[in-house]
Amino acid sequence: MRLEGIHHITAITGDAPQNVSFYAGVLGLRLVKKTVNQDDPTVYHLFYADEQGSPGADLTFFEYPGAIRGRAGAGMVHRVVWRIASEAAIEFWARRLTDAGVSTERGEGTLRFSDPEGLDHELVVVETSDEPLIAEHPEIPAELALQGFEAVRAYTADPEASRTFLEEGLGFAPDEATEFEVRGEHRGGRYVYDVTDETGRQGAGTVHHVAWASSPEEHEAWRERALGAGAHATPVIDRFYFRSVYFREPSGVLFEIATIGPGFTSDEPLEELGTHLSLPPFLEPRRAEIEPRLTPLPDPRAAGSQVLRAGIPENGLLEGEA
């Protein structure tokens, strides 16, 4: 049994329209599912990914309107690391982000920046046989686009506290003292620790959890392995687009193991992903109650959409930054 790298990463936003403008407009990801938090259907759950909505490129957000900005600390993921193909892509993104008013920090083969709410990202040039997971965007050539997740970086007070759980329980392979890789038959990803003893605060611009990808056939067995390694794992939860098990690893980071499939085309065709509010069957009877409470959002791929045309407004500011 091997996990197939990162399935998705879920974070928190206090401003869904700004979030769509940044992730669909500036970063060029596809909004592949507009739905609600199934545990709190009064708020959005937005999913951005590649053109097909693939696990491995799936960044998601819960919207809590007006949420105060959080701060990552021990027991929290603090940075999302994306793959890109070349130094030319680094140059492209440095220019594009600067033009969008986003500060960047350049390193050898890397580019770091934060979203409008402070969530840290890093682009890294990676040579891999994994399929590049790319979204289409009129301003971003495919060879320069984001190609899916490479890693997440998490804060911990003690990296050794989780080593046995990760290696023996979940099959992560140590790369370096504070780095681990998980690689399946088709895809891999890395989990990296940075040491801090500072306490974090969940809020806008922080990561809620990271999910690792499992085949549907092995999903229950992964839950048993997590239990056997000492985790307090939830029962399997049917999220309609995938099935999920949640638990915290010893450093405190919330993990999910999510199945590859059924996928986002379960309730709308590929060409229409993200264009309508999708509700799982058990919430569909409440649509008339749920939909009016949600923040109106632009369709980033609609004809004439400002998000589609330019990604950023003419004044260079995203909504809420004026």
pLDDT score recorded for residue 302: 76
Does residue 35 carry a pLDDT above 60? Answer: yes
Establish how many alpha carbons lie within 13 A of residue 28's alpha carbon, considering only the half-sphere containing its beta carbon. 21
The reply to whether 317 falls in a domain is no
The reply to whether 53 falls in a domain is yes
Cα distance between residue 149 and residue 300, in whole Å: 22
The reply to whether 322 falls in a domain is no
Does residue 152 carry a pLDDT above 90? Answer: yes
The residue-averaged pLDDT of 155-173 equals 96
**Structural domain that includes position 48:** 6-309
pLDDT score recorded for residue 321: 33
Report whether 155 contacts 116 (CB < 8 A): no
pLDDT tens digits for range 285-296: 999 999 999 989
pLDDT score recorded for residue 303: 57
The reply to whether 321 falls in a domain is no
The residue-averaged pLDDT of 134-158 equals 97
Q: What CATH number is given to the structural domain containing 107?
A: 3.10.180.10
The reply to whether 314 falls in a domain is no
Burial 177-209 (b: 16+ CB within 10 A, else e): ebbbbbbbebbbbbbbbeebeeebeebbbbbbb
- Of the pLDDT bands very low, low, confident and very high (cuts 50, 70, 90), residue 304 is low
- Of the pLDDT bands very low, low, confident and very high (cuts 50, 70, 90), residue 310 is very low
The reply to whether 173 falls in a domain is yes
pLDDT tens digits for range 65-116: 999 999 999 999 999 999 999 999 999 999 999 999 999 999 999 999 999 9
The reply to whether 152 falls in a domain is yes
The residue-averaged pLDDT of 1-15 equals 97
Cα distance between residue 232 and residue 258, in whole Å: 16
Residue from 203, 196, 237, 180 nearest 246 by CA: 237
- Of the pLDDT bands very low, low, confident and very high (cuts 50, 70, 90), residue 221 is very high
Number of independent structural domains in the chain: 1
pLDDT score recorded for residue 93: 98
The reply to whether 226 falls in a domain is yes
Report whether 305 contacts 139 (CB < 8 A): no
